[in-house]
């Protein structure tokens, strides 16, 4: 395999560059997104301002899941990533030049969010599919873990920085800052050394879009561990939407605790994810993936139930906030321990020429689950008490653990060790 030719030193350098690119891109993107929402809120006075991305991203993901998966798996990954970044930069510059001259800023903003959604999906899938071109096998877990930790850490800071910068330099200044950051990310990507693997077989490249994409779907369905991962991930994303909707509604509308306390609780989840990923760097790889994920999901569901129990009885504001901060950190910890090992498993076992289609399918399903969950729990929290509803969600998660354990009983104790994923199992 080509990845075996990549030295440890080269892998470490690639990890540093990838982490730097992630930190700059995610931080600037988070600042841009938050500032865009603030600008729209002030100009349109519409509540949709802060929900624009949650609507556009799933629609784009669903419409383009087939062509993006096929394209990434059959084209040079570095070129694909660079072109998507350049398109984003050009679109951002055009948006910056016209947005302050337009009367209907919402329409133009929907277009730029759609452009970001398309190119984020392309570049993200491209990076996932090219992991074996960047580092050798023993550095896949450190690369994934460090990137996840960087993402979690940046998510802690981006909303606060966005609010600060929006007040200091305005939306126009944020646009220029985002353009500079995108240019720096392009330079970092140019400096990264991709070691291309052999392209997919000609039959895959010449087949129809749907026929080619079905190869990835069939691979997921035919591999029990992957099929389990897809199902459990969709359920987790669907039910975790209750936190995004429920905590905000309960803390601000029901308990009248204010936005500041909500911000502390929300940031605690990102802090927990950061701590969880840092701990994973010191822990050995999970050998029994299904059993481990199910046990972690059991803990995750228990935290939901505890959160509901904490909200059932009226407590002092500081006590409620402190308890929710601790429980939110625990949620983030469990999420990191579930998500990162699953990502490592995908990148170390799925054949490279299918990795784009498999990863974009999983990402799209998870993305679609979140708005469905948002709509469902928005309706439920307006009609039911928050505490009992969180307890119910926790019990559903615990019940799902029992269901999946029984359904996968033949492989739940199976040792799932990383293996070379080049063209094996193709």
Q: Which fold has domain 2-194?
A: Growth Hormone; Chain: A; (1.20.1250)
CA–CA separation, 345 and 320 (whole Å) = 38
170 close to 39: Cβ distance less than 8 angstroms: no
Q: Which helix (H) or strand (E) holds 305?
A: helix 289-312
Average pLDDT score over residue span 287-304: 88
Query: Does the CA dihedral 57-60-63-67 come out positive or negative?
Result: negative
Which of 220-229, 235-244, 328-337, 405-414 has the highest average model confidence (pLDDT)? Answer: 328-337
177 burial via Cβ count (<10 Å: 0-12, 13-18, 19+): middle
Q: What is the tens place of the pLDDT at every residue in 120-175?
A: 889 888 887 788 788 887 777 777 777 777 776 676 677 778 878 888 898 999 99
CA–CA separation, 82 and 230 (whole Å) = 29
Percent of the chain, pLDDT > 70? Answer: 87
DSSP H helices, 207-288, are: 209-222, 224-248, 258-282
340 close to 272: Cβ distance less than 8 angstroms: no
Mean pLDDT lowest among 53-62, 68-77, 295-304:
53-62
Q: Residue 1: which pLDDT band, with cuts at 50, 70 and 90?
A: very low
Residue 156: CA atoms inside 13 Å, Cβ hemisphere, count?
17
Residue length of the chain: 426
DSSP letter at 179 equals: H
Question: What was the pLDDT predicted at 116?
Answer: 93
Q: What is the tens place of the pLDDT at every residue in 332-385?
A: 899 888 887 887 777 777 777 777 788 778 777 777 787 788 778 878 887 888
DSSP H helices, 350-385, are: 352-381
**CA distances in angstroms from 57 to 90, 119, 371, listed in the order given:** 20, 11, 10
Question: What was the pLDDT predicted at 4?
Answer: 52
Domain 213-407, classified CATH 3.40.1110.10, yes or no: no
At 122, phi and psi to the nearest 5?
Answer: -65, -50
233 close to 291: Cβ distance less than 8 angstroms: no
Which residue ranges does the chain devote to CATH 1.20.1250.20? 2-194, 213-407
CA–CA separation, 294 and 401 (whole Å) = 6
Mean confidence (pLDDT) of the chain: 81
């Amino acid at each position: 395999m080509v990845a075996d030719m990549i030295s440890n030193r080269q892998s470490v350098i690639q990890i540093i560059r990838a982490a730097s690119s992630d930190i700059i891109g995610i931080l600037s993107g988070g600042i841009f997104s938050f500032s865009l929402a603030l600008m729209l809120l002030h100009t349109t006075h519409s509540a949709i301002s802060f929900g624009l991305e949650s609507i556009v991203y799933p629609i784009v993901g669903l419409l383009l899941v087939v062509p993006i998966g096929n394209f990434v798996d059959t084209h040079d990954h570095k070129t694909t990533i660079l072109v998507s970044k350049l398109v984003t930069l050009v679109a951002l510059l055009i948006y910056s030049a016209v947005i302050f001259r337009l009367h209907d800023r919402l329409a133009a903003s929907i277009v730029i969010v759609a452009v970001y959604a398309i190119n984020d999906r392309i570049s993200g899938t491209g990076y996932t599919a090219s992991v074996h071109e960047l580092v050798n096998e023993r550095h896949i877990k450190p690369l994934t873990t460090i990137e996840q930790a960087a993402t979690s850490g940046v998510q802690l800071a981006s909303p606060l920085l966005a609010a600060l910068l929006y007040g200091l330099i305005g939306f126009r200044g944020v646009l220029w800052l985002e353009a500079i950051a995108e240019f720096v990310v392009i330079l970092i990507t140019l400096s990264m050394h991709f070691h291309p693997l052999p392209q997919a077989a000609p039959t895959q490249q010449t087949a129809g879009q749907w026929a080619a994409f079905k190869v990835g779907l069939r691979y997921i369905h035919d591999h029990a561990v992957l099929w389990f991962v897809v199902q459990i991930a969709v359920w987790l994303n669907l039910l975790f939407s209750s936190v995004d909707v429920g905590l905000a509604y309960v803390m601000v509308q029901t308990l009248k605790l204010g936005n500041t306390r909500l911000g502390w609780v929300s940031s605690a989840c990102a802090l927990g994810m950061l701590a969880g990923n840092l701990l994973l760097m010191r822990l050995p790889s999970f050998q029994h993936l299904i059993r481990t994920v199910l046990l972690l999901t059991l803990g995750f569901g228990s935290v939901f139930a505890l959160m509901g129990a904490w909200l059932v009885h009226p407590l002092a504001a500081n006590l409620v906030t402190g308890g929710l901060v601790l429980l939110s950190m625990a949620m983030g910890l469990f999420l990191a321990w579930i998500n990162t090992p699953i990502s490592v498993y995908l990148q170390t076992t799925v054949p490279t020429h299918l990795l784009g289609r498999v990863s974009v399918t999983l990402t799209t399903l998870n993305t679609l689950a979140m708005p469905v969950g948002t709509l469902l729990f928005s309706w439920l929290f307006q009609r039911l008490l928050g505490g009992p509803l969180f307890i119910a969600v926790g019990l559903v998660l615990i019940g799902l653990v029992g269901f999946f354990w029984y359904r996968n009983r033949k492989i739940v104790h199976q040792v799932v060790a990383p293996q070379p994923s080049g063209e094996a199992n193709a």
